Amino acid sequence: AQTVTQSQPEMSVQEAETVTLSCTYDTSESDYYLFWYKQPPSRQMILVIRQEAYKQQNATENRFSVNFQKAAKSFSLKISDSQLGDAAMYFCAYRKAGKSTFGDGTTLTVKP
């Protein structure tokens, strides 16, 4: 079974600074999808960014970017110019054949 590991239960960052959240996963597949979701205290989980494993280019969405290392099975999320609204729990997810596996989440605190 696939597993997703987020080794940082909690992270904090100063407003306007950059922070990187780590995620590793275990799979024997070559074609799959990876996602980062954000769950703020209001608890609605929303998509932050996604990456197709067959694409070598790292995905970016405004201030959010990923460092996808397929061989290392690593999928970290970089948040640049952190804002107070970025404070949330972040989940890394692996998806293959319609089935998603989530990591335990990283709680990000943004300090003003």
Partner 1 sequence: ETGVTQTPRHLVMGMTNKKSLKCEQHLGHNAMYWYKQSAKKPLELMFVYSLEERVENNSVPSRFSPECPNSSHLFLHLHTLQPEDSALYLCASNLHNAGASPLHFGNGTRLTVT
Which residues of this protein are in contact with partner 1, per CB under 8 A? Answer: 31-33, 35, 37, 42-47, 50, 52, 91, 93, 95-100, 102-105
Distance of CA 77 to the CA centre of its chain: 5
Give 29 or 81: the residue with its C-beta nearer to partner 1: 29
Give 74 or 100: the residue with its C-beta nearer to partner 1: 100
Q: How far is the CB of 5 from partner 1 (least distance, A)?
A: 10
Q: What's the rounded Cα separation, in Å, for the pair 111 and 82?
A: 9
Q: CB-based burial of residue 47 (10 Å sphere; 0-12 exposed, 13-18 middle, 19+ buried)?
A: exposed
Q: How far is the CB of 64 from partner 1 (least distance, A)?
A: 14
